[in-house]
Amino acid sequence: MTPVIETRDLNVHFGGVHATRDVNFKVAEAELRCVIGPNGAGKSTFFKLLTGQVKPTSGQILFRGEDISNMKPHEPGRLGIGIKTQVPSLFNGLSVWENVWLSARSVNTAEQSERITRRTLERVGMTAYRDTTAGLLAHGLRQWVEIGVVIAAEPPLILLDEPAAGMSDAEVARTAELILEINRQHALIVVEHDMNFIRMIAKKVTVLHQGAIIKEDTPDRIMSDPLVQQIYLGKKPH
Amino acid sequence: MELALVIVIQVLYAVATLFIISAGLAVIFGMMKVINLAHGEFMMLGAYATIGAIRLGLNLWVAMFVVAPIAVGLVGVVLERLVIRRLYGRMVDTMLATWGLSLLLIGIVTSIAGDTTAGVSAPLGSFSIGAYSLSGYIPVVIAVAIALALAIRWVLMRTQLGLIARGTMQNPDMANALGVSPSLVYSVTFAVGAALSGLAGGLLAPITGVVPTMGAAFVAKAFITVIGGGPAILAGLVGASALFGAINQLATFATTPVIGEVALLAAAIVMLRLLPQGITGRFFKGSL
Amino acid sequence: MNRFAKSWMSAALSLAIGIAMMLVLPGVLDDYTLIQVTIYAVMSILGVSLGFIWGFGGILCFGQAAFFGLGAYTYAIAVMNMGDSTGPFLLAIAVPALFAMILGYVIFYGRLSDVYMGVITLTVTLILFNLINSTAGPEWKIGSAPLGGFNGIPAIPTLNVPGHPNDVLSPKDLFDLTFVCLLVVYLGLRMLISSKIGRVIIAAKENEQRVLLLGYDARVYKLFSFTLGGAIAGLAGCLFANWGAFTSPTIFGLAQSAQIIIWVIVGGLGTLVGPIVGCVAIQWLTTQIGTQQMFNSNLVLGTILVVFVLLVPRGIVPTLGSLGEWAFGRMRRRKASSTTAAAQAETAPAMAATERAT
């Protein structure tokens, strides 16, 4: 089966920094994968490679078998990759409804878009706020609107960069629920810091360190791995 | 042979002129990221200040190098406090407000001085190279440009003021922590930029007709030179002036002065298409 | 934009006022004043073109006068060569549009910062000014139309009824035509704004990165807006050339470009009616200033621009609109506070929800 997304020997150099090293990464259709790593591990760079914001120095990125290594900025969205960046990025001057509608409309007709927008708002629990200007919402609500914007276009692959950042415990739990529900029909790659959150959602975790993948396994095995513990906590393996 | 020498001198002159008229703008835009559309009017004020000082009996050179910069520098301080400082960070609003200021200044000067052309004749007569006769003012302009470039470099690199200015531009919070008031630095920088523009206006007074609307001829060229130069203030200015000044002058030789102007502006647009960050966005990165 | 402004009610209202003016004014005004009103309408079309690309497309063009001038000059040159004015009318719209498309391509596809847009468009206008200004000699002509340099092109033949070159439009006909164009442009842009294309254009102005991530190529949408703005400005230019039967290089000047920007800022950025209001207000003011000696028009316009940028950044129409909403809201709240306690209890949870949202 073709993986929904795959990287082969992916490398990125910034000046003297080897930010991404020989990364061979595969995610299957409808899989949920978490990517973790300490600060400076290259998570953001890797994320930006997958979204086309950074071009690889060498290697390939394949989306459902198609080479997308040198995409223009608007192409990932068009191909079916939904992206939620670390800093919430919405149309602050538009209403919640309009934000989601624009996403739905990018792949559907006008009549379908009405229906899909309504349904998406229900899925993320933001129906009550449909006419609120997005810029006025609290942080947690903005994150959910943005998730709504991403899923409205029904992309086969969704990339989330720190979706639980800045949320209260209740909001984090709700977000985890939402992600698992989305995962029933879409592949997801979640880049995260918060270990608790990862345990709520992940079946397989990829650990990055200094730009390279050092381990891929279930959350429990990752957490008890001495090498991972060392790079995260500075503990020496004994 | 003599023709070649004359051409070289004329090109140097064009480059020097472009450098001088852009220097004030480069300081203000490069250091503060403020797009000052009243730049041409600062030059105009410098020209009028020079003429006024000469009418009052002062020596031409004193009028040009002392009175003009100081007068316009003061105007700069006032405008910075009243208008510019309320719009920091809002680039578009700054452009619009400075455009308003430019109209305002033209209006004020027109009301006071009328809109007939004033002028002062170029000093130092002329000199000959073979069969060609050139204005003696040309070497003065070239010399001033070189001196200005060296002076800017010296101030930025060797003086405390320059260091503080460079540091504040990079990191206003650090400046605060070090006991330096960023707003004072901004005021001084804007005033210096204005003074340089005033100097340019004074310097050009003998060779252009001085009217309240004279600034318009310079603002586009100055801007395109500053933007084309890129983030490094001095290196960018030198590079862009050299490139555009040469193109301007050579095109003028080949065709007409109007085409020469058009060539300069068109070349700048082409260059920005190729190097969106300006010359020093790609070459000589990290220099002053 | 508040909800009233976005609703069809406000569009219908504006349209109704426009149609009413068009039908009523010729009956009550003398020919001279009618001609004055016509120029206000022509300039309003120009103002709306900038108001659209700037307020909705986020494109700050300092050289909208370039397209205006190109429209005027294209019409003048074409009609002097072609006789019947139908072709020239269409050319006057097409040539500026084409120019805008090429310029837009260079700027939007060249990854240039939006800030440089202002300076570059200003520069282009100056290039045009310099070029046309220097064409004074008799050798400068296109076909049988002399370019005239700084003297301009006088005695431009007026538009005629399509197909009948001798059936020339009267001042009243020109008034009607101009008003129809203004209303068509207004209605057309209103409809565009509510369509998918319009929504993407507005979204791209709000957050270009987000629009790209959604899969829309923002560059194409910007290019479309900019080209449309150029076409509309060209239309205004053509009507202007007809109004005065004259055009000169000052149409490409900084003063003209500055005026258009002032109209939009004073009237209200982000609305279509705002630029019309601002245009009429400033044009009227400029005529008044012309009749007295004390204040120079540059002085007044410059002061207005500075004051508005500092103190009334949103312009007249949105500010009035907000005041209206505020006053309306107070009236409603006064009514609500006289209802029963039960009704008040009902509104409390809704208010709590709003508090959580902010």
The per-residue pLDDT for range A100-116, each reduced to its tens digit, is: 999 998 888 888 999 99
Q: Specify the number of domains making up chain B.
A: 1
Same domain, C148 and C249: yes
The tokens for B42 are 């600062």
The pLDDT tens digits for B76-124 are 999 999 998 888 878 888 888 998 999 999 999 988 887 777 777 777 7
The tokens for C229 are 């703005």
Percentage helix, strand, coil for chain C under 3-state DSSP, each rounded to 5: 75, 0, 20
Residue C3: the pLDDT is: 53
The pLDDT tens digits for A33-65 are 999 888 778 888 888 888 888 889 999 999 998
DSSP secondary structure code for residue A162 in this structure: S
| Closest to A52 (Cα-Cα) out of A33, A23, A22, A80 | A80
Residue B46: the pLDDT is: 94
What is the domain range of residue B263?
Answer: 2-114+132-282
The partner residues of A212 in beta bridges, in order of sequence, read: A209
Percent of chain B with pLDDT over 90: 32
d(CA C43, CA C263): 10
> C193 to chain A, minimum CA–CA distance in Å?
13
At residue C286's C-alpha, the angle toward residues C285 and C289, to 5°, is 85
d(CA A52, CA A46): 10
Residue B268: the pLDDT is: 82
Q: Which residues of B touch C301 (CB under 8 A)?
A: 100, 103, 107
Same domain, C219 and C323: no
- Give the start-end residues of each E strand in chain A: 5-14, 17-27, 32-36, 58-63, 66-67, 81-84, 157-161, 187-191, 204-209, 212-217
Instruction: State the CATH number of the domain containing residue B149.
Output: 1.10.3470
Q: Count Cα neighbours of A155 within 13 Å in the Cβ-side half-sphere.
A: 30
pTM here is 0.83
Average pLDDT of the residues of chain B: 86
Mean pLDDT of A206-215: 88
d(CA B176, CA C198): 45
The pLDDT tens digits for B239-278 are 999 999 999 999 988 888 888 888 888 888 888 878 877 8
Same domain, C134 and C39: yes
Residue C93: the pLDDT is: 96
Helix (H, G, I), strand (E, B) or coil at C103: helix
Q: Which residues of A touch C214 (CB under 8 A)?
A: 77, 102-103, 106, 149, 153
Q: Specify the number of domains making up chain C.
A: 2
Residues shown for chain A:
238
| Closest to A206 (Cα-Cα) out of A194, A196, A192 | A192
Same domain, C240 and C350: no
Same domain, C350 and C262: no
Residue C355: the pLDDT is: 38
Residue C7: the pLDDT is: 67
Asked, for residue B121, whether it belongs to a domain, the answer is: no
Asked, for residue B182, whether it belongs to a domain, the answer is: yes
Same domain, C240 and C349: no
Residue B110's CB is within 10 A of a number of other CB atoms, namely 17
Same domain, C75 and C221: yes
> C308 to chain A, minimum CA–CA distance in Å?
22
Same domain, C103 and C244: yes
Q: Count Cα neighbours of A197 within 13 Å in the Cβ-side half-sphere.
A: 27
Among the partner-chain residues C116, C297, C305, the one whose CB lies closest to the CB of B272 is C116
Helix or strand holding residue C146 (H, E): strand C145-146
Which residue matches tokens 């006088």?
A: C154
- Pair C142, C78: CB distance under 8 Å: no
Identity of the residue numbered B258: V
Main-chain dihedrals φ then ψ at residue A81, nearest 5 degrees: -110, 120
| Closest to A208 (Cα-Cα) out of A59, A30, A44, A69 | A44
d(CA C70, CA C95): 7
Same domain, C205 and C64: yes
Which residue matches tokens 């004359």?
A: B6
Identity of the residue numbered C186: Y
The pLDDT tens digits for B210-246 are 888 888 888 888 988 988 888 788 888 999 999 999 9
> C246 to chain B, minimum CA–CA distance in Å?
24
Residue B224's CB is within 10 A of a number of other CB atoms, namely 27
Residue A228: the pLDDT is: 82
Q: What are the angstrom distances between the C-alpha of B167 and each of B3, B25, B86, B229?
A: 47, 19, 22, 21
Residue C350: the pLDDT is: 41
What is the domain range of residue C334?
Answer: 315-358
A 89-108 near C (Cβ less than 8 A): 89-94, 98, 101-103, 105-107
Chain-chain contact of B107 with C118 (C-beta, under 8 angstroms): no
d(CA C211, CA A77): 9
The answer to whether residue A87 neighbours chain C at the CB level (below 8 Å) is: no
DSSP secondary structure code for residue C160 in this structure: B
Q: Going residue by residue through chain C, which has 358 residues, state the pLDDT in tens, using 9 for 90 and above.
A: 445 455 677 788 888 888 888 888 888 888 888 888 999 999 999 999 999 999 999 998 988 999 999 999 999 999 888 878 888 999 999 999 999 999 999 888 877 777 678 778 888 888 888 888 888 777 778 887 888 888 888 888 888 888 777 788 888 888 999 999 999 999 999 999 988 999 999 999 989 889 988 989 999 999 999 999 999 999 999 999 999 888 988 888 878 888 899 999 999 988 899 999 999 999 988 888 877 777 778 888 899 999 999 988 888 888 887 888 788 777 777 666 655 444 444 444 444 444 333 3
